[in-house]
């Protein structure tokens, strides 16, 4: 009895799962994760207007901050409604205080003083304020050294110093420790696991479609079972690779990642290597005569790929388990390479042990096939 409908069910299930994960990732990426900060100018001096014009909406200061100008009442209301993470106030007389005392009074208001957002805003304020004061001090030194400079030259110098103090190219850019987005991480995980599941399904479905009478007739011919197994394995590799390319295209198109095109070929090579390794392992298992042992080995490989490769449980948790054997097993390395390339455009160096394991598996398969051929 043909079992191709099982493959249709599997493909539909995988595509629904991918669509769900990609949809969740896209929705999450559309959320506004920027710091929304208000600016209140109570000084209304030429200098503060210059600062506000220079800062604008905050885009020039980084990708993770959004600045809006308010009056004091509106800013306080927006803060209480959690529409703002905080706001700065250029206090009245700020400019005069700077010229007379060398101080630059700027008040900072946040919803509380314990949340992460509030702490970050206070730290950023202290950092920018320190650099701003140093820069304005430089402008003052310029005025002392060049007393003949006119107001326009002084204004230009102060503007340059202001941008230097604010670090226009990214004072407010967050440079946190790089962590994976959960949706993106598990979308890649499902992709990685689905390649194995589809290959295994095709490999077994092709075996199920072999009529019992045909198997008996083929057993009369030398090396017929091995050739048939090789054929269905190669067919499974081919169609699974096509599937992996199609899904990879969808991932790169709809997943919110900045994938660089020059990494496409290395990524495809890694995926093909992943499939070849699965093919070699399944061939070795299939050539075992005992069906019980075959089942046990397939369960072990399935657990190794799904549970212990990092696709389900991050591989960092296995780093010290069994002396790091699970952490350095080849499927874990392949998953990490795929994950880093898709999400971070980072190519992980391949350790020598990985090549040794691949070489040993190929040698074992060749020995098994040669032995069965000469038997």
Question: Where in the sequence is the domain holding 82, given as residue range(s)?
Answer: 37-166
Q: Are residues 158 and 298 in the same domain?
A: no
Longest Cα–Cα distance in the chain: 106
SS3 268: helix
Indicate which CATH number applies to the domain containing 125: 3.40.1710
Last residue in a domain, options 115, 141, 166: 166
pLDDT at 260: 85
Burial class (CB in 10 A: 0-12, 13-18, 19+), 6: middle
Total domain count, the chain: 2
Give the three-state DSSP class for 38: strand
Average pLDDT over residues 347-352: 83
Q: Is residue 155 part of a domain?
A: yes
pLDDT at residue 1, rounded to an integer: 43
Q: Does 282 lie in the same domain as 227?
A: yes
Q: Are strands 86-90 and 106-110 parallel, antiparallel or unpaired?
A: antiparallel
For residues 154 and 100, state if they share a domain: yes
Is 85 in contact with 111 (CB distance < 8 Å)?
A: yes
199 forms bridges with which residues in the sheet?
none
In this structure, the answer to whether residues 115 and 187 fall within a common structural domain is no
Q: What is the pLDDT of residues 16-58, one digit of tens each?
A: 555 555 555 555 554 445 567 777 777 777 766 766 665 555 5
pLDDT digits (tens, 9 = 90+) for 304-346: 888 888 888 877 777 777 777 878 888 888 998 998 898 888 8
Token readout for 177 is 């420790």
106-110: strand order across its sheet: 65-70, 35-41, 86-90, 106-110
Query: What's this model's pTM, rounded to 2 decimal places?
Result: 0.58
Q: Which residues contact 44 (CB under 8 A, 6 or more apart)?
A: none
Please check whether residue 154 lies inside any domain of the structure.
yes
Same domain, 264 and 368: yes
Is 276 inside any structural domain?
yes
User: Is the CB of residue 136 less than 8 Å from the CB of residue 154?
Assistant: no
> Measured between alpha carbons, how far apart are the two ends of the chain, in Å?
32
The answer to whether residue 126 is domain-embedded is yes
Coil/strand/helix, residue 70: strand
The SS3 of residue 354 is helix
pLDDT digits (tens, 9 = 90+) for 62-88: 555 667 778 878 878 777 777 777 777
Residue 175 included in any domain: no
Residue 176 lies in a domain: no
Instruction: Extract the tokens encoding 323.
Output: 């002396």
pLDDT over threshold 60, residue 278: yes
* 174 within a domain of the structure (yes/no): no
Residues 260 and 213 in one domain: yes
């Amino acid at each position: 009895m043909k079992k191709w409908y099982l493959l249709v069910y599997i493909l539909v299930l995988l595509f629904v799962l991918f669509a769900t994960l990609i949809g969740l990732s896209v929705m999450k990426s559309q959320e506004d994760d920027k710091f929304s900060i208000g600016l209140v100018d109570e000084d209304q001096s030429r200098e503060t207007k210059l600062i506000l014009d220079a800062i604008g909406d905050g885009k020039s200061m980084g990708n993770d901050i959004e600045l809006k100008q308010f009056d004091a009442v509106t800013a306080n209301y927006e803060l209480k409604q959690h529409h703002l993470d905080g706001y700065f106030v250029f206090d009245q007389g700020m400019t005069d205080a700077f010229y007379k005392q060398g101080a630059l009074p700027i008040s900072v208001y946040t919803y509380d003083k314990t949340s992460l957002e509030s702490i970050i805003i206070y730290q950023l304020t202290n950092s920018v304020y320190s650099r701003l004061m140093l820069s304005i001090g430089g402008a003052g030194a310029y005025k002392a050294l060049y007393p003949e400079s006119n107001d326009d030259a002084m204004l230009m110098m102060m503007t340059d110093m202001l941008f230097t103090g604010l670090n226009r190219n990214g004072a407010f850019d967050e440079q946190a420790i790089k962590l994976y987005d959960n949706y993106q991480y598990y979308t890649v995980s499902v992709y990685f696991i689905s390649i194995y599941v589809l290959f295994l399904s095709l490999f077994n479905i092709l075996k199920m479609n072999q009529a019992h009478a045909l198997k008996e007739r083929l057993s009369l011919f030398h090396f017929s079972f091995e050739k048939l197994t090789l054929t269905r394995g190669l067919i499974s590799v081919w169609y699974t690779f096509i599937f992996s390319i199609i899904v990879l295209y969808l991932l790169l198109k709809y997943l919110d990642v900045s994938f660089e095109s020059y990494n496409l070929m290395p990524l495809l090579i890694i995926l093909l290597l992943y499939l070849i390794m699965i093919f070699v392992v399944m061939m070795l298992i299939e050539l075992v005569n005992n069906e019980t042992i075959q089942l046990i080995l397939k369960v072990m490989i399935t657990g190794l790929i799904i549970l212990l490769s990092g696709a389900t449980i991050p591989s960092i948790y296995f780093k010290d388990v069994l002396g790091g054997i699970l952490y350095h097993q080849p499927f874990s390395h392949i998953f990490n390479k795929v994950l880093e390339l898709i999400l971070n455009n980072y190519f992980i160096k391949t350790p020598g042990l990985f090549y040794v394991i691949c070489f040993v598996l190929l040698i074992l398969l060749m020995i098994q096939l040669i032995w069965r051929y000469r038997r």
